[in-house]
Structure 1
Amino acid sequence: MAPTSKRNKTVNTYIDYSELEFNSGEAFSKIKGKLDIPKKFALFDPNIELGHSIKFNLKEDKLDNIVDTISFVENIIINKADIYKIPVFCKVTDKEYIDLLYSKLIKCATEDELNVAFSEFDIIGTTEIFNNTDYKFTLKRGQNEMSVDNITFDDFKKFAQNCELDLASAFEKVNIISYYMSNSVKTDKLINIIDYMDEDERCVLSRGKWYHFNDDYLEYLKSSLAEIDVIYNPEFDFSSSIHDDYINSRYLEYKDSADYIGLSKSKAKQKLMRKFYAERTFNLIRERDNGFKNYDRIEQRYGTSSIELMDLYKDKTMFAVKIGKASAHLCYVVDQSLSSLKMYQHKTLTHMPEIDTVCIWIILDRGELPILEDGVPNINELDMLLLKNKIDGWKKEVRLAGLKPIIYINYRK
């Protein structure tokens, strides 16, 4: 049965039970008593399949049986209590409801109550685009342009004001152009590059698509994530002072090289900060001090694309590392890990070391998580539904590959 929106309108396009099946006479027999189904029930076979729709095998193909089956199902929905809770996380396709969600987003933006995060990672063809200082972006409306190193909502609002646009119009009319190596690679609207959650409607926006979830899904997700081993080692926490110390050590190495001669010490360090950004520095320190092998920025060709095997490797474990504080930033580490896993499974990469464990290593740029009784951080306390949804899918893929999924948690203090 489809969930109901705040407008009390049944939105039957929500449901996508693509992984749920009742192809078992035994499963059906367990619920027959609760449904008051006669022992000699003759309307349809006991094999019921729930996919994008509910499928019945009628014992006799005739129109009267189709009508009776529909009436039977409607009666169960109206008069019987739920027997099994079904978690729902699926794409919203009802246009009228999408319009409602969009109007609420615009209202929050207008009232300065919009809490959005910008997707840090995208793939354009075979090019990986990151929302950080390695890439450039231009906000454009007609002849008006504003170039930025990082996309922020404050910049977007400022540009809209300069163009004399209200926010609703700006969402539709302002283009965001991504540049890689000074070349334009993609033009998009704001709606396609932000992550946002409407808690009242139980919907999230990601890459321009709305997804609905229910309480049962949240309970399912909580149980699923609790199955993953989480490791916290305070020795691996990161900080601005650790980063500064590393830059200072590299300054002595680089200050007399051709690209740095003539620069003041502060300018040279700014340049080194761009070269040795936080994640790269973190990986290099793990290699220097903790016995990890660093694969960061080591790419292999796959067809016409270049991909990284992983960020770090140690003890038959491949690590994908990411620093961030929102789902939009941290979902990338899950995508990166899955891409490497698939390449590993298909044996399409050379020089791939032996692995038995796959790890996503999250360095949270925020306060510390509550600790469970066994002394490890409680990842269920992350207020990041999109990230937790991705971790759930990642866990399944890793296990299907016969490998162990684990999560490292650390903090950027």
Structure 2
Amino acid sequence: MNNPYNIYKVKPSKLDQLKEKLAGVGLVEQKTHQADNYSMTFYFSEKIKGNDIWWWETYQNFFNNEVAKPQNIFHFGLLLCIQLDDPNQIYAVSLGKAHFYLSRFIQYDFGIDLAVRMADEHTILLKKSRYFTGTKRQDVSSYQKFQPNSYDPGESVDHLKLRASDKELWGEKNIIFADSIQLEMNRDPIDLAQIFDQIKEGLMGNEVIRLPKLEAVNDELSEELDKLLFISLKNRQGNIAIEEFHVYGVAICFNFHNYDYRLSAKKPGSSGYYRKDIGNSLTVEHISDFLEEHEDVECVSSLSVQFKSDEQGLFTKDLKELLDLPVAFEGYQYFLRNGDWYKFNDTFMDYLKRSLDKIVTVVKEPLEEADYIVWKEEKQRKIEAGEPVDDNITYRESYFNKKQRDENGYLLLDRQLTLIRSLEAGKKNYKVEVADLYKDREIISVKISETGPDLIYNIEQSKDSVELIKRGEIAFDQEFDTAALWFVFEEEVQRITEFNSIQFLLAVESWQKLVSGLGLTPKIYFSRHNK
């Protein structure tokens, strides 16, 4: 008989906490067996309360009178396996819903780390990824025939279904790899020791699949990032991400429920909690207001969110598990995933760089600061003297754009704002700057800045205006087949990937995807700002 085994690798430092968690959710320790240098202890939900069936009340009139109010009872269990001569080798085999309680105690990407060393990339049948560019956030794709190395720039893979390269060792069936591995074998649980040894040996091998993914950072760095994250929350920065589906090991669970939320924070120096009900929406503003009300809360890890729905009852998540907020530290960008800090691996960066390097780039004449100062002072003199001028604007981009108009024949679009109707009734309409320059069927947005946020804002504005024009929301009487960004940097730049900001590069990649998807050619101009 073939049995499915869903295997996790437990962090040794989290073993005691895991055992406390198992007891807390009703898993009672059963028998322990020893097999091939492994101690195997089973935990089972002996006394479990049933869950109310939400549709009982809705359809009660259809039931026979003698039918008692039913409850669903779902038993679950876990097999905890520890290698006797190497206690750091700890595996957990999940049964039923036990995987819901393992996430804080396991080695993330354990299955993916094994897959890239022993799997056959040609046999990928299913792939789940998180995206950091474009409009997609998560995506699950199935394949009839996968083309190796065909990953998207900005894609981070965290779930695979495929076969092993060594069929004699691992069998010919498909294996699912994520935070855990799930395989189907004609073996009893007592025989899993051999599989654990195969896993241990497999993890020591070289990588044979170049997979773009996130990599976890160490605990010391995580503490520094938590401090920066807390400051960002107090400053109302970031987003809350309530995902439409979650992955628990190899299980993909879709979210079909609406929730009300309650914020909680442990009171410093006591056993009590601050709590606040915030209704059916959860935003960073709610978090910031909560922190302002309780100024003695000083640690992001003390914050949690309770979810409540009529169908699912109550459950709680750490706030960090819901935050979508990259943090920059010492020249690198770090991202949260399931409440832990990650950075992109080299393969992710390679795919991103390869895509960005395909964008046509042109180096143009520099912006001379001395010339700008002369122009600015003369224009200010005319304004103060009441002499005629075309406008009262004296900032650099205005000078630069008008110089392109006067000397190089560009059509000036700078400051041409178009009123866009609000999507929500009763809200004010808003204005979008169409672009800065136009010439030879190219629409161009110009930005003179060295700061990532300013540059990203310019990129997002270009995306909005190009998309609105193509959708007919903005009237634009010029034909164009190219959308361009024109950056003016103090440093000499030949390629966009020379700019050292992953957030900026991800924004450019997202812009390129949108522009290409609209049937346009993306293009980038560089000018040096000589001061």
TM score, norm. by length of structure 1:
0.56
Summarize the Cα distance change of 1:77–1:328 in structure 2 as closer, same or farther, 3 Å threshold: farther
Q: Deviation at 1:410?
A: 0.5
For residues 10-49 of structure 1, what are the structure 2 equivalents within 5 Å? 12=108, 17-18=129-130, 23-27=142-146, 32=163, 34-36=165-167, 41-42=172-173
Contact 2:401 2:437 (8 Å CA) reproduced: yes
Contact 1:198 1:204 (8 Å CA) reproduced: no
Contact 2:228 2:327 (8 Å CA) reproduced: no
- Whether 2:502 is the aligned partner of 1:385: answer yes
Contact 2:432 2:461 (8 Å CA) reproduced: no
Q: Deviation at 1:336?
A: 1.4
Residues in 2 aligned to 1:202 and 1:11: alpha-carbon distance in whole angstroms: 22
Look up the match of 1:227. Answer: 358
Which of 386, 408, 414 is the equivalent residue of 1:296?
Answer: 414
Q: Deviation at 1:94?
A: 12
Residues in 1 aligned to 2:221 and 2:199: alpha-carbon distance in whole angstroms: 24
Q: Deviation at 1:289?
A: 1.9
Q: Which amino acid aligns with 1:384?
A: S
For residues 7-406 of structure 1, what are the structure 2 equivalents within 5 Å? 12=108, 17-18=129-130, 23-27=142-146, 32=163, 34-36=165-167, 41-42=172-173, 78=203, 81-88=206-213, 99-103=223-227, 197-199=328-330, 203=334, 212-234=343-365, 237-251=366-380, 253-257=382-386, 275-303=393-421, 304-364=429-489, 366-369=490-493, 377-406=494-523
Contact 1:327 1:385 (8 Å CA) reproduced: no
SS at match of 1:18: strand
State the Cα deviation string for residues 204-230 of structure 1 (Å, max 9, x = none): 69xxx9763222222122211111111
Residues in 1 aligned to 2:515 and 2:177: alpha-carbon distance in whole angstroms: 27
Alignment RMSD (CA, Å): 5.3
State the Cα deviation string for residues 127-160 of structure 1 (Å, max 9, x = none): xxxxxxxxxxxxxxxxxxxxxxxxxxxxxxxxxx
Report the number of matched residues. Answer: 296
Residues in 2 aligned to 1:223 and 1:29: alpha-carbon distance in whole angstroms: 16
SS at match of 2:516: helix
Residues in 1 aligned to 2:518 and 2:148: alpha-carbon distance in whole angstroms: 34
SS at match of 1:407: strand
Residues in 2 aligned to 1:357 and 1:29: alpha-carbon distance in whole angstroms: 31
Summarize the Cα distance change of 1:258–1:312 in structure 2 as closer, same or farther, 3 Å threshold: closer
Residues in 2 aligned to 1:55 and 1:318: alpha-carbon distance in whole angstroms: 49
Q: Deviation at 1:71?
A: 8.2
Contact 1:331 1:390 (8 Å CA) reproduced: yes
SS at match of 2:512: helix
Identity fraction in percent: 20
Residues in 2 aligned to 1:35 and 1:320: alpha-carbon distance in whole angstroms: 53
Q: Deviation at 1:283?
A: 1.3
Residues in 1 aligned to 2:229 and 2:485: alpha-carbon distance in whole angstroms: 32
SS at match of 2:376: helix
State the Cα deviation string for residues 60-107 of structure 1 (Å, max 9, x = none): xxxx9xx9xx989967973664332222369x999998544134799x
Residues in 2 aligned to 1:229 and 1:378: alpha-carbon distance in whole angstroms: 9
Summarize the Cα distance change of 1:254–1:86 in structure 2 as closer, same or farther, 3 Å threshold: same
Unaligned runs of 5+ in 2: 1-7, 15-87, 89-104, 113-127, 132-138, 150-161, 239-296, 301-322, 422-428
SS at match of 1:310: coil
Residues in 1 aligned to 2:341 and 2:402: alpha-carbon distance in whole angstroms: 38
Q: Which amino acid aligns with 1:24?
A: Y
Structure of higher CA gyration radius: 2
Q: Which amino acid aligns with 1:102?
A: D
Residues in 1 aligned to 2:386 and 2:146: alpha-carbon distance in whole angstroms: 72
- Whether 2:503 is the aligned partner of 1:407: answer no
Summarize the Cα distance change of 1:42–1:385 in structure 2 as closer, same or farther, 3 Å threshold: closer
TM score, norm. by length of structure 2:
0.45
Look up the match of 1:135. Answer: none
SS at match of 2:129: coil
